[in-house]
Amino acid sequence: MNEREHTRLRDEWSIQEIARLVGTTSRTLRHYDAIGLLAPSRIGSNGYRWYDGPALVRLQRILVLRELGLPLPAIQRALRDEQDAAAALREHLTLLRREQRRLERQAASVERTIAALDSGGRLMAENMFDGFDHTQYKEEVEQRWGADAYASGDAWWRGMTEADREGWTALVAQLGADWSAAAQAGTDPASAQAQALAQRHADWLAGIPGTPGHGTGRPAKEYLLGLGDMYVADPRFAASYGGERGATLVRDALRVWAQAHL
Amino acid sequence: MNEREHTRLRDEWSIQEIARLVGTTSRTLRHYDAIGLLAPSRIGSNGYRWYDGPALVRLQRILVLRELGLPLPAIQRALRDEQDAAAALREHLTLLRREQRRLERQAASVERTIAALDSGGRLMAENMFDGFDHTQYKEEVEQRWGADAYASGDAWWRGMTEADREGWTALVAQLGADWSAAAQAGTDPASAQAQALAQRHADWLAGIPGTPGHGTGRPAKEYLLGLGDMYVADPRFAASYGGERGATLVRDALRVWAQAHL
DNA sequence: GCTTGACCTTGACGTAACGTCAACTCCTAC
DNA sequence: GTAGGAGTTGACGTTACGTCAAGGTCAAGC
């Protein structure tokens, strides 16, 4: 088969030829046949698949929609009538935008984590369950509440005895476990149970020297609300509070609590 | 089992308990065990899995990295030493950014296609292989080259006889097929073969009344270069030129040709 | 007439990270 | 003794094909 014959125009093509023509593979065409998306126009007595002009056109439409990211079932439906095509694309577009925003948040989160690691953090080496890691959040605390806040909190922690720390750690772990259980049970953020946890959480925070509000018996309102948002946005916190559901519950319960008590 | 016992701090948890604690499912934990990512600290004589503190910490690290979008094998490697974690995250970040840009292009493409459909286009109803669809590109042509260009090209096409159109269509289809074959063969854009195709392509374009350069025997340089970029960016074109590889070859060959001849 | 080689076929496994039965065992409480 | 709520190990389904594997078909060259 020479070049001339290879590219001469005919009214029927083999599976390889048509695959090359549109830049895909024969495996893909067999797949489309198998799922009923594109059947060959003719099947030889030897089982070979042959495609004609209309089949080629349909294939091209399929590939256009595929390039745009539509799943094959959606392409199937869209090709049944052109009305559906626009609707499917519109729906797909909102999905694309949503996914874009998700990636944006994820990338930002990765960047923060890299920065934390670079500045000496240890990827939850000492976290809520085995000792609250102060260095972990150094940057964020300093940025929001000043270097003094961080330094005094850090000094306080380092000044504790081993027994003190273990007791503190157990408290924190218990709090995290209770939040997790409450989230799992679908507790309402405004419920008495959640508000009791919020109270414990606030007490705990107020007990840490250096946090805004320490000494007044209750944390500063802005600090508490900001902390709640951080819990939800940062997977390092979510891991200690029963995942995203848990972190969301903590934030919402703290909001309600802050409105009532601060 | 009452609430107190449920949330009391212990040194060992069942699979359900630990799943709830971190906000995931027991199935996930069994999966992690199966792939060697996280083994239970102990397995009872009855086959039950039990997890202790260190296992919980490891699980939390896993979930943090998973939230950040890392695949499980990468998490596996990252947890072996903290050095790798930062490197893995950095690599992952570039992937995220790349994917973000891809989605951006895809979304833009979807928007253009929706606009084309809304303004009466028919999703490649008459394309390169069954008749160049002028209405398809109305918007783009008008935007770049003015409404006159579009109108005169359209009138010319509508004024053709059936036989004229068939002849023209065959020419265009042959050109597309030859481009596809060349792309498949890995032809160099600067090669004699590709340049011969580019010449045919330019001749063809120049033969369409209304295109910039029609009447001069060769298309306008800017028009030709812009068209090449459009070929690559728009899947509707790619479908007729052997996919992305084909469209890229056309663009690059036209660039070389334009430098030499325009 | 036979080999060679390109092309075709169907069948089946692999991919990522689990969700979702199914069938069965274990343990505690009433 | 039994009901129910754990736990266990399979095994299939998900997306859109890639990638063998084993074997049939066809035109060309000796």
Per-residue pLDDT tens digits of chain A, which is 262 residues long: 333 343 445 678 999 989 988 889 999 999 999 999 999 999 999 999 999 988 988 998 899 899 899 999 999 999 988 778 889 999 999 999 999 999 998 998 888 888 877 766 555 444 444 444 544 555 565 666 655 655 555 556 655 666 666 666 666 767 777 787 787 777 899 988 889 888 888 877 776 766 666 666 677 787 788 778 777 777 777 777 777 888 888 899 999 998 988 7
Q: Quote the mean pLDDT of chain B.
A: 78
Residue A19 in domain = yes
Terminal CA-CA length for chain B: 85
How far is the C-alpha of B198 from the C-alpha of B189, rounded, in Å? 9
How far is the C-alpha of A40 from the C-alpha of B2, rounded, in Å? 65
Q: What is the DSSP code (8-state) at residue A136?
A: G
B83 CB inside 7 Å of strand C:
no
Residue A73 in domain = yes
If one compares B109 and B124, the residue with the highest pLDDT of the two is: B109
**Sequence letter at residue B43:** I
- Residue count of chain B: 262
- Is there a single domain that holds both residue B147 and residue B220? yes
Give me the residues of A, 204-233, that contact B with CB < 8 A.
none
How far is the C-alpha of A180 from the C-alpha of A233, rounded, in Å? 17
Indicate which CATH number applies to the domain containing A37. Answer: 1.10.1660.10
Which element (helix H / strand E) includes A231? helix A221-233
Q: Which chain B residues are Cβ-neighbours of A6 within 8 angstroms?
A: 181
pLDDT band at B241 (very low <50, low <70, confident <90, very high): confident
How far is the C-alpha of B83 from the C-alpha of B39, rounded, in Å? 23
For chain B, give percent helix, strand, coil, nearest 5. Answer: 70, 5, 30
Dihedral sign computed on CA atoms, order A154, A156, A160, A166: negative
Nearest-CA residue of chain B relative to A65?
B235
- Is there a single domain that holds both residue B160 and residue B243? yes
Residue B100 in domain = no
How far is the C-alpha of B234 from the C-alpha of B137, rounded, in Å? 11
Residue B109 in domain = no
Q: Contact, A12 vs A51, CB < 8 A? A: yes
- Is there a single domain that holds both residue A7 and residue A55? yes
How far is the C-alpha of A224 from the C-alpha of A245, rounded, in Å? 18
Average pLDDT value for residue range B233-259: 83
- Is there a single domain that holds both residue B153 and residue B249? yes
Residue B160 in domain = yes
- Is there a single domain that holds both residue B160 and residue B220? yes
- Say if A171 is an interface residue toward chain B (CB within 8 Å): no
Q: CB distance A67–B130 less than 8 Å?
A: no
The pLDDT of residue A231 is 78
- Is there a single domain that holds both residue B142 and residue B256? yes
Residue B145 in domain = yes
How far is the C-alpha of A82 from the C-alpha of A74, rounded, in Å? 12
pLDDT tens per residue across span B35-53: 999 999 999 999 999 998 8
The pLDDT of residue A96 is 94
Give me the residues of A, 55-74, that contact B with CB < 8 A.
56-57, 60-61, 63-64, 67-69
The pLDDT of residue A140 is 61
Residue closest to C18, CA→C1'? B28
User: Which among B68, B87, B106 is the end of a domain?
Assistant: B87
Q: Which chain B residues are Cβ-neighbours of A178 within 8 angstroms?
A: 7
The pLDDT of residue A151 is 56
If one compares B207 and B201, the residue with the highest pLDDT of the two is: B201
User: Which among A38, A72, A87 is the end of a domain?
Assistant: A87
- Is there a single domain that holds both residue A126 and residue A75? no
Average pLDDT value for residue range B240-254: 85
Q: CB distance B178–A7 less than 8 Å?
A: yes
Q: Which chain A residues are Cβ-neighbours of B246 within 8 angstroms?
A: 23
Q: Contact, B169 vs B161, CB < 8 A? A: no
Query: ∠ CA A190-A191-A197 to the nearest 5 degrees?
Result: 90
- Is there a single domain that holds both residue A212 and residue A83? no
pLDDT band at B144 (very low <50, low <70, confident <90, very high): low
Give the number of domains in chain A: 2
Residue range(s) defining the domain that contains residue A154: 121-261
The pLDDT of residue B245 is 83
The pLDDT of residue A2 is 37
- Is there a single domain that holds both residue A83 and residue A34? yes
Q: CB distance B111–A93 less than 8 Å?
A: yes
- Is there a single domain that holds both residue A47 and residue A138? no
The pLDDT of residue B75 is 94
How far is the C-alpha of A96 from the C-alpha of B103, rounded, in Å? 7
- Is there a single domain that holds both residue A60 and residue A147? no
Q: What are phi and psi of B229, to 5 degrees?
A: -65, -40
Angle between helical axes of A162-184 and A192-206 (0-180°, round to 10): 160
Residue B141 in domain = yes
- Is there a single domain that holds both residue A190 and residue A127? yes
Q: How far is the CA of A5 from the C1' of D30 (A)?
A: 25
pLDDT tens per residue across span B150-188: 555 556 665 566 666 666 666 777 777 778 878 877 789
Residue A149 in domain = yes
Of A56, A21, A65, A32, nearest in space to B243 by CA: A21
